[in-house]
Chain A
Amino acid sequence: MTPILLTPSDLALAALLLVADGVLSIILGLGLHKRLAVAGARMVVQLLLVGYVLRLVFASGHPAITLLLIMVMALVATREIGARPRARLARFGNYAIAGTAVAVSTGLTAVLALTTAIRPQPWWDPHYAIPLAGIILGSVLNAASLSLDSVLRGVMLERPGIEAQLALGVPYAHAMRPLMREAARVGLLPVVNQMTAAGVITLPGIMTGQILAGLDPVEAVKYQILLMFLLAGSSGLAAVLVAGLTVRRLTDPRQRLRLDRLHG
């Protein structure tokens, strides 16, 4: 079975649904029609651009270009993670921590999957490496940003209790342990929810896509299971890394709590 290819007129017909939304907004006075139009146009342009970029990268089959594209995606994820919390660590700490966690967790899980389970020839084949990195990055983005927000919020809230422990001679790492645990827990929640809902409440996107593209459902499910494991691994790694690096940035060799390095 070959996938059914869509023509521009197919898309134009479906776009009528967006137009219907706009009409609804005007009739009901929702004031959303302009934003709907802009968002719809933006979505079309963004996706078409990505499509053509991917077509070029796939055609080139060059490892450096593949890596470059993945790095651009990772940088965007890093920016999102670092910008989410209201509090900012001094010297661009949010971004340094986010970047490290994104690079390590995505890199390790993607390379693991490409060299063991999926094994395309060559292993960095952009057809596999880029979508895989993209899916993992999405999950890492969620886990890392929740973890970072949790530690930064927690440390400001729990400051008196942490300092009380330090003042009694409790080592810094010990006093910070509950915050680390909470951050790792919060970071892992989305992937736990995702696994719980998979196939029952939601039909995961990759699986759906592969079925639409003509793959046997059981084969598609196997891919999805592999991906879920990869997402669980990378999310856990990212959440713990972010929490650990943040906690480390908030102290000094005399094991003080250095909230002067946190602004906002």
Chain B
Amino acid sequence: MTSPTSAASGVAVPRLEVRGLRSDLAGPFDFMLSSGSALAVTGPSGAGKSVLLRMIADLDPNTGEALLDGVLRSVIPAPAWRARVVYSAAEPGWWHERVGDHFVRSPAVLLDRLGLRSSILDQPVRLCSTGERQRLALLRALERDPAVLLLDEPTSSLDADSVTAVEALLRERREAGMALLVVTHDLAQAARLGERHMRLELGRLNPA
């Protein structure tokens, strides 16, 4: 997947652009993410990291603009925007009893890569461990083939092997053009995952 270019200038249009995005809780935020790029955001608890991700996904009221491949968010219906700019919460929610019912297709191959048994699909969500749920939520988000993935603490409950597997999978998706914005407490992970690293403090984003 290549990023679209504006015919006039030949300059690549950013995959995601955020202009003056703010709410009562945080902002304003201004930044760009090109196709295949990654931005890691760290910062103290309560600084507004989750608020930032939720605003980009348009899940909380906010002002300012966001653009996907140069198209203004305000002209895209909200569900269509969220299907392309997918947010995965730190504590993912579930709405069916059975794990497998949360997927459109069976994620068999990817389950194995992240160290999950395929029988987990027939299991009730409440019997899954926190780490299993975290990986399942990531697969659920990736299944929609998002243009931008907004991840909140995606590996906080995972062992070292699973973290490596998750990071490898994310790298692969980025090579296919997905832009990644990841919030993490782990500075080493921020360095591994993000070619750019910023700190969010008191509702403002600063270079780390």
Contact = CB atoms under 8 A, between A and B. Distances in A.
A168 B95 contact: no
Contacts of B137: 164
Interface stretch (A47-55, A229-237, A248-256): A248-256
A255 B73 CA distance: 13
Contacts of A166: 59, 79, 82
A164 B59 contact: no
Contacts of B59: 163, 166-167, 256-257
Interface residues of B, number: 26
Interface string A153-168: 0000011111111111
B80 interface: yes
Interface string A128-167: 0000000000000000000000000000001111111111
Contacts of B61: 252, 256, 258, 260
A158 B95 contact: yes
A161 B86 contact: no
Contacts of B93: 159-165
Nearest to B140: A168
Interface string A66-78: 0000000000000
B172 interface: no
A169 B94 contact: no
Contacts of A168: 82-83, 86, 140-141, 144
Nearest to B104: A168
A256 B59 CA distance: 5
Interface stretch (A25-33, A103-111, A170-178): A170-178
Contacts of A167: 57, 59, 82, 86-89
A242 B81 CA distance: 30
B60 interface: yes
A171 B82 CA distance: 10
Interface string A184-223: 0000000000000000000000000000000000000000
Interface string B19-60: 000000000000000000000000000000000000001111
B75 to A, nearest CB: 12
Contacts of B84: 169
Contacts of B78: 172, 253-256
Nearest to B102: A164
Nearest to A161: B95
Nearest to B88: A167
Interface in B112-161: 137, 140-141, 144
A169 B95 contact: no
A181 to B, nearest CB: 13
B92 interface: yes
29 contacts: A160-B89, A160-B92, A160-B94, A161-B93, A161-B94, A162-B93, A162-B95, A163-B59, A163-B93, A164-B89, A165-B95, A166-B59, A166-B79, A167-B82, A167-B86, A167-B87, A167-B89, A168-B86, A168-B141, A169-B82, A170-B79, A171-B79, A252-B61, A254-B58, A254-B78, A256-B61, A256-B78, A257-B59, A258-B61
